[in-house]
Structure formats: structure tokens, C-alpha cells
């Protein structure tokens, strides 16, 4: 019987990417929503603390190993904002469109559009696991005011990769997964689990 693994996220964009990225890994991957797990609190000011809180929450409520992702876009001219607050940058309820609009407005008076996506993954074998497995990944880009592309989620229509001449919403899923902060972090995590 394959080991079940709970993805401790309710974000459909992330879940899709994890299903693609984990397709070849020997886990039976299930979203926490399938088990009725509600969103965890994310009260902390660091990605790693929020990811650990999400992983423990999902594992506690399901009794299964869990993998959580805390991620965001960090903009240099804004001192790293929205960063750990990316999901709720424009307030509640969470909205990718309003978050992107606020980011573009906040950058209007700035010249430096450089930014990076950052992702921390935390895997716990059980809710009180004293040795969570942690990995991270970073992906550099430029924030552009005009939205481009239909793929991805979140800030992807505004996150431009100069080397590719495309926004990340214009990439095929495999290409995004090969390059992204999340893909990098997941491959690093899988190495640590070997
Ligand atoms: O590849 C990405 N492409 C575009 N945007 C991205 C990406 N990766 C993170 N992001 C943005 C989306 C959200 O504004 C925030 C994550 O916030 P974060 O709290 O980790 O996730 P969430 O609340 O959407 O779902 P959950 O906590 O249930 O996993 O960063
Ligand atoms: Mg969240």
C-alpha cells in the first residue's frame, strides 16, 4: 500500500503544481480539503514558521504525514514586501487580482522592478515530528504592469523572466515546474527524504 501524504494547502494553483511535481514520487498524495481540513492560521512573520504551522495542522487533523508550502513574491524596491503577506496583500477575502493590482500601484513610483518568488516546504511525518524536513527555493524575475498569460496562479501574469522573454503565466506547466521556486524546493526536499 502506498503511503498517503496530505498536501497542507487549499490553494488550487499550488495543488495542481504539487500533483504534477509529485506524480513520480511514491506517495498517494491527497489535498487536505479531501479530509475536511480547514485553512490553518498563518500568524508568523517568516515563511518557515507558517509552513511548519500548516504542516502540523494538517497532520494533526488527519493523522497522516503532511507537506506544506509557504511562499510569496518579494519585491526589492518594497523592502521584500509583500513577502510572507503575499496572499492577503490587498486584504480579505484573498484575491489574486486585487493583490496584483495593489502591487502594481505600489510600484508605480519606483524604477527598480526586480523581485523574486520564494517558497519554503515543510514535511512532517506526524503532527509533533521533532525533525521536520525543510527545503526552500528562489526564482528571480521582474514585476511588469501589463498582465501576460493565462497559466499559473497568483502573481504569475505580472512576474516576468527576462531570460525567457515571458511572464510565468505564459509558461507551460512543465516549464514552470522545472524552473520555479516551488519546483526547486520540492526537488531539494525529495533529496533530503532519500
Ligand atoms: O508560483 C507562484 N506563482 C504566483 N504566485 C505565487 C506563486 N507562489 C506563491 N505565490 C503567491 C500566491 C499567494 O499570494 C502567495 C502564497 O501565499 P500562501 O499563504 O503560501 O498560500 P495560500 O494562502 O494561497 O494557500 P495555502 O496557505 O493554503 O497553501 O504567494
Ligand atoms: Mg496561506
Report strand pairing: 166-167 vs 159-161: antiparallel
pLDDT tens figures, 102-113? 999 999 999 999
CB-based burial of residue 123 (10 Å sphere; 0-12 exposed, 13-18 middle, 19+ buried)?
A: buried
Encode the chain (194 residues) as per-residue pLDDT tens digits.
688 999 999 999 999 999 999 988 888 999 999 999 999 999 999 999 999 999 999 999 999 999 999 999 999 999 999 999 999 999 999 999 999 999 999 999 999 999 999 999 999 999 999 999 999 999 999 999 999 999 999 999 999 999 999 999 999 999 999 999 999 999 999 999 98
Distances (CA, A) of 37 to 32, 124, 175: 5, 16, 31
| Domains of the chain, earliest start first | 3-193 (3.90.950.10)
pLDDT tens figures, 132-160? 999 999 999 999 999 999 999 999 999 99
Ligand 1, pocket residues at CB < 6 Å:
9-11, 14, 39, 42, 54, 69-73, 86-87, 99, 117, 152-156, 180, 182
User: For ligand 1, atom 17, which residue shows the shortest CA distance?
Assistant: 87
In this prediction, residue 25 carries a pLDDT of 82
186: helix, strand or coil: helix
Which ligand is the nearest neighbour of the Cα of 9?
Answer: 1
Which ligand is the nearest neighbour of the Cα of 70?
Answer: 1
Contact between 105 and 89 under an 8 Å Cβ cutoff? The reply is: no
Amino acid at each position: 500500500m502506498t503511503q498517503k501524504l496530505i498536501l497542507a494547502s487549499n490553494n488550487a494553483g499550488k495543488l495542481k503544481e504539487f500533483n504534477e511535481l509529485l506524480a513520480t514520487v511514491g506517495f498517494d498524495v491527497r489535498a487536505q480539503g479531501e479530509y475536511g481540513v480547514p485553512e490553518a492560521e498563518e500568524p508568523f512573520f517568516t515563511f518557515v514558521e507558517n509552513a511548519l504551522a500548516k504542516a502540523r495542522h494538517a497532520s494533526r487533523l488527519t493523522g497522516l504525514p503532511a507537506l506544506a508550502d509557504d511562499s510569496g513574491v518579494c519585491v526589492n524596491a518594497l523592502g521584500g514586501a509583500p513577502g510572507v503577506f503575499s496572499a492577503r496583500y490587498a486584504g480579505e477575502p484573498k484575491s489574486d487580482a486585487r493583490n496584483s493590482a495593489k502591487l502594481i500601484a505600489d510600484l508605480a513610483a519606483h524604477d527598480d522592478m526586480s523581485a523574486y518568488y520564494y517558497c519554503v516546504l515543510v514535511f512532517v511525518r506526524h503532527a509533533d515530528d521533532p525533525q521536520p524536513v525543510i527545503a526552500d527555493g528562489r526564482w528571480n524575475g521582474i514585476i511588469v504592469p501589463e498582465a501576460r498569460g493565462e497559466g499559473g496562479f497568483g502573481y504569475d501574469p505580472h512576474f516576468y523572466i527576462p531570460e525567457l522573454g515571458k511572464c510565468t503565466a505564459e509558461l507551460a506547466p512543465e516549464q514552470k515546474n522545472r524552473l520555479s521556486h516551488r519546483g526547486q524546493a520540492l526537488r531539494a526536499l525529495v533529496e533530503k527524504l532519500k
